[in-house]
Structure 1
Amino acid sequence: MDMQKQPQRQPQTQHPERCLVVAIRIPVRIFVFLVVLPIRLLWDALAAVARFLGRYVLAPVVRAIGRILHLLLVVPLIWLYRHLLTPLGHALAWLYARVLIPIGHALGWLYARVLTPIGHVLVGLLTPVAKGVAWAFDMLGTALYRTARVLLVLPALALWRWILAPAGRILGIVLKEIGEALGHAWRAAGYVVRAAGRVLGTLFRWIFREPARWVYRTVLTPVGHVVRDLVLHPAAEAARAIGRAVRQARADLRRALFGEPSRPVPVDRREPRGRGTRTLDG
């Protein structure tokens, strides 16, 4: 028998912020879903329109604007850099090397040889006065700090600790739940939109596309074959026969009026045989 006593478990108390989270989450998510659903539908429609416009309208416009900007800005800037800024930079470099550096050396000599000794003399005369002024400002600053701490800092700390911090925590919980509800509602609205799209696509296919395909296959195609075989082909044959008859009638009329056309006499164009050569007489 185990003589040691088991420590009794203390009942866990639920934090009040957890109760607030549970009480806020469900109604907030339901309300946000009902608000976000039409917004998601509008967003998907606008996104589709934006993709279409971006692909077929904005992209060509942007390319054209890019070419125009290249011609109006880049090419003039390149010319300006090559023919104006580069010579100006070389001139400034020459000025710096030939003028500014000697002036700088002269000023350095003046500072080291003249101004520094004068400064040491002035510091040795003004140091006690400066220390007294610094001590006075230090005492004044200490007094002002203590007064501001009593009048401003301590009340501000109390206001932050007992009022603003609890209100900020509650507001943070509410904003967090609203944000999570917006995310869940946005995803759920996306599922609803996709499901509605699939349902509308199926209805369109069964109401319009499948009946149209059936009518085309079972009605229009046989009717078209019948019209082709019974109407178009005989009409084409009749037209060709009428054309041949018209041509034959025109030929008969021409022979009746003008007689048979004269046939050209064949000319012997063969070269003479033998060793004799051709002359102008024959």
Structure 2
Amino acid sequence: MELQQQPPPRQPEGCLTVAIRIPVRIVVLVLVVPVRMAWDLLAAAARAVHRSLLRPVGRALAWLGRTLIVTPLVFLGRCLSWLVHTLVVIPLAWLWRWLVVTPLTWLWRWLAVPLWRYGVVVPASLLWRYGVVAPASLLWRYGVVVPASLLYRYVLTPLGYGIAWLVGGLARGAAGVGAGLAWLGRGIAWLAARGWAGLAWVGRGIAVVVSAVGSALVRVGLILFVVPLGWFYRWVLTPLGRAVAVVAREVGAAFGHAWRIAGHVSRAVGRGLKWLGWQLVGRPLRWVWRTVCAPVLHWVREAVWAPVKRAAVEAGRIAGAALGTARRAAREALASARETVRRARADAWRALVGGPPREPAPHPARTLGSTTTASGAVPAPEISLHKTEG
């Protein structure tokens, strides 16, 4: 069970609100009713124009643009793309393949790879295996390793010890200098602390003086400015603001109320005009349509259009059957011609080359072991094997 939210209780209204409300609503209603009726009339006219003129015109323009501009441009673009693909892309691809890719592939496969393998890799491997390994190892040992070890033992080690002793002396001197600087810093910090204590005492005295002077100035400002301004705000501006707020609220409410009432009046007037137009124009037009136009159109549909439609459908059906028969006859003639050409080519090849006698091809008209024929197939000719081979 849902708890319904109770509306907040209305605040009691004063006499000023009640005295202002009725005259303001009357004046606003007189001013708003013509405006609302003109607005509704313009809105109805705009809807009628959009529904009966702008929307059909827009659809017609869209159809014309699609038929006269978009469809030809699409067709032209497809034709151009086909021409470009046929006349440019395919020849360029063929030329690229046979003039660039195929020669480069042949050169890489039959020239570059064998030349690199048998001209560089094999001689280098043989030379490294049988002529370079032993001399290179001796050269590395007595030319690099032994001199480096001697240099490290008799030059770099004594030099490192000397540098370490020098760095240690410098570190001890830096530690002594740091201790002296620390003692000097502590003395400076002690002096700074004493000086800061003296400055803090002077600052507290100045703060006491400034606080006393500030308190006196605040009291004077409060008496001379704040109290009169507070009195003026409380007894002048606040009542005036409340009155203005009441008047503005009532004027806004009056405008809303008058707009709603004017809407009801406008709808009533519109219904009256609609009823009058139906009685004067719509009902006679409906009577003319039902009693005159509809019977004539029904007679035209039953006596003229229906026979013409049936005749056109029958003619189309007959033409379709004739076209189907001609298509089937042409397909059978082409199949028979292809079979005849194939048999003649086979006989000529057998006469030139020689071979075993050809078995007659099983005809699809007969089934295995029976004399029944398949549906829609032509019966096979009754010709013996000897006649066929002869």
Q: Please, what TM-score do these two structures have when normalized by structure 2?
A: 0.36
From the CA coordinates, give the structure whose radius of gyration is larger: 2
- What TM-score do you get using the length of structure 1 for normalisation? 0.47
